[in-house]
C-alpha cells in the first residue's frame, strides 16, 4: 500500500507496504524488542494477497491465464480468500476446493463474499490431505480454460515474499534486526523472506514455527508426493535457510492470540499468536537489546467459530 496514495486505481493497489508495530507489553520482560507486521491489513485480510496477485499476474504475462479463464486452488482459507479477492477485481471465475473437516464457515463465507465458488469434499485414504490438489490437477488437465495456481509449488509465491515482504522488513528496520520468526504453511513466506534476509545479512537468524502435531522438519516430516505435495516445503527444508525450529501446541498459539487482542489491541489470528509466542521463546535465549521481527498472518475474524493453529 502506497501510504501517500490519494486515489487508488483499484483495491489491488492497497496490497503490501505494511508497517511494523512494536509490542509494548507482551515480551517486555525479555529485554528484546519484538516488532510485528500486521499483514491482516491487506485487503482480503491476510498476507496471502501478496502471493495471489503475484501468481495471477505472472500467469497473465506468460499467457497461461487470459480473459475467460477459470482459476482453481485447494485451500483451507487464506489463499482461497486472497485468490477470490484478486480474481474478483480482475474478472476471473475462481473456485476453491476445501476439505470438509476444516471447512470453517467464516473462511468459506469470506471466499463466497468475493464471488468465489466453494466446493467442500470429504477426505479419506492415505493421502487424504491432498485430495483437493488432486481435484485441481484433474480439472486443469481436462479443461484448457482452467488454471490451477499451485500455491504449494508456484515459484512466484516465494518471489512475492522475497521481493516485497523482505524488502519492507529491511527498509522499515533500517536493516537492523537479529531474527525473523514465521510459521510454516506452504513455506513461501519463510523461504522468500529468509533468502532475502540471509543475502542482506547472514547473521540474521531465521526461525521456523510449526504445530507440534504436524511437523515439517525432523524425522516425522510430512511425506511428499511429486506434483501434489512437497514443492516449496521441500525447497525450504533443503535450502539451509532455517536456523532453528520452534514447535507449539494449539493452546499456546490460541492463548497468545487472545493476549495480543487484550493487551496490545491487535486483532489477529491463531498462527499470528503462534508467531509471537515463538518469538518470546527465541527472545529468552537472546541478551537484552536484540530485535525480533515476525508476521501477523491474518485477522481474527476467520477464527470466530473454531480456534486452531493451522498453517
Tell me the three state secondary structure of residue 97: strand
The pLDDT > 70 percentage for the chain reads 91
Greater pLDDT, 224 or 189: 189
Greater pLDDT, 149 or 126: 149
pLDDT above 60 for 288: yes
Q: Determine which one of 149, 186, 271, 299 is catalytic.
A: 271
Greater pLDDT, 226 or 85: 85
Contact 39, 299 (CB under 8 A): no
Residue 45: per-residue pLDDT: 96
What number of CA atoms fall less than 13 Å from residue 286's CA on the CB side?
Answer: 24
Contacts of 222 (CB under 8 A, 6+ apart): 214, 215, 216, 229, 233
Q: What is the DSSP letter of 298?
A: B
The reply to whether 172 belongs to the active site is no
Contact 279, 41 (CB under 8 A): no
Residue 165: per-residue pLDDT: 98
pLDDT above 70 for 292: yes
Tell me the three state secondary structure of residue 249: coil
The reply to whether 213 belongs to the active site is no
Residue 230: per-residue pLDDT: 62
What number of CA atoms fall less than 13 Å from residue 140's CA on the CB side?
Answer: 19
User: Considering only 56-65, 113-122, 229-238, which range has the smallest mean pLDDT?
Assistant: 229-238
- State the greatest distance between any 2 C-alpha atoms of the chain, in Å, as a whole number: 58
Catalogue all structural domains in the chain, each as residue range(s) with its CATH number: 11-41+164-303 (3.40.50.1100), 48-148 (3.40.50.1100)
Contact 175, 204 (CB under 8 A): no
Q: Residue range 70-99: average pLDDT? A: 95
Q: Determine which one of 37, 44, 46, 48 is catalytic.
A: 48
Measured distance CA(39)–CA(61) in Å, rounded? 26
pLDDT above 80 for 125: no
Per-residue pLDDT band at 307 (split at 50, 70, 90): confident
Contact 157, 51 (CB under 8 A): yes
Residue 128: per-residue pLDDT: 59
Q: Residue range 58-74: average pLDDT? A: 96
Paired strand residues for 295 = 37
Amino acid at each position: 500500500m502506497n501510504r501517500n496514495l490519494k486515489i487508488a486505481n483499484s483495491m489491488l493497489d492497497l496490497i503490501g507496504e505494511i508497517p511494523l508495530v512494536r509490542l509494548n507489553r507482551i515480551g517486555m520482560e525479555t529485554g528484546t524488542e519484538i516488532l510485528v507486521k500486521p499483514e491482516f491489513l491487506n485487503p482480503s485480510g491476510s498476507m496471502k494477497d501478496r502471493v495471489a496477485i503475484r501468481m495471477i499476474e505472472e500467469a497473465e504475462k506468460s499467457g497461461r491465464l487470459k480473459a475467460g479463464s477459470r482459476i482453481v486452488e485447494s485451500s483451507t482459507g487464506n489463499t482461497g480468500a486472497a485468490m477470490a479477492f484478486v480474481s474478483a477485481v480482475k474478472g476471473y471465475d475462481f473456485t476453491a476446493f476445501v476439505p470438509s473437516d476444516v471447512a470453517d464457515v467464516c473462511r468459506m463465507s469470506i471466499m463466497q463474499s468475493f464471488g468465489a465458488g466453494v466446493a467442500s469434499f470429504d477426505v479419506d485414504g492415505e493421502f487424504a490431505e491432498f485430495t483437493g490438489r488432486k481435484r485441481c490437477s484433474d480439472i486443469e488437465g481436462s479443461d484448457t480454460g482452467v488454471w490451477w495456481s499451485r500455491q504449494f509449488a508456484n515459484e512466484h509465491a516465494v518471489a512475492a515474499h522475497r521481493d516485497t515482504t523482505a524488502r519492507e522488513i529491511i527498509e522499515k528496520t533500517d536493516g537492523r534486526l537479529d531474527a525473523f520468526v514465521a510459521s510454516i504453511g506452504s513455506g513461501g513466506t519463510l523461504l522468500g523472506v529468509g533468502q532475502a534476509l540471509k543475502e542482506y545479512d547472514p547473521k540474521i537468524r531465521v526461525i521456523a514455527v510449526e504445530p507440534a502435531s504436524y511437523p515439517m522438519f525432523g524425522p516425522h516430516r510430512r511425506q511428499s508426493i511429486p506434483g501434489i505435495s512437497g514443492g516449496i516445503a521441500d525447497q525450504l527444508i533443503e535450502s539451509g535457510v532455517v536456523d532453528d525450529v520452534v514447535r507449539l501446541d494449539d493452546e499456546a498459539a490460541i492463548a497468545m492470540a487472545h493476549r495480543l487482542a487484550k493487551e496490545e489491541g491487535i486483532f489477529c489470528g491463531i498462527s499470528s499468536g503462534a508467531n509471537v509466542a515463538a518469538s518470546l521463546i527465541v527472545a529468552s535465549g537472546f541478551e537484552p537489546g536484540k530485535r525480533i521481527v515476525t508476521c501477523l498472518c491474518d485477522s481474527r475474524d476467520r477464527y470466530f467459530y473454531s480456534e486452531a493453529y493451522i498453517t
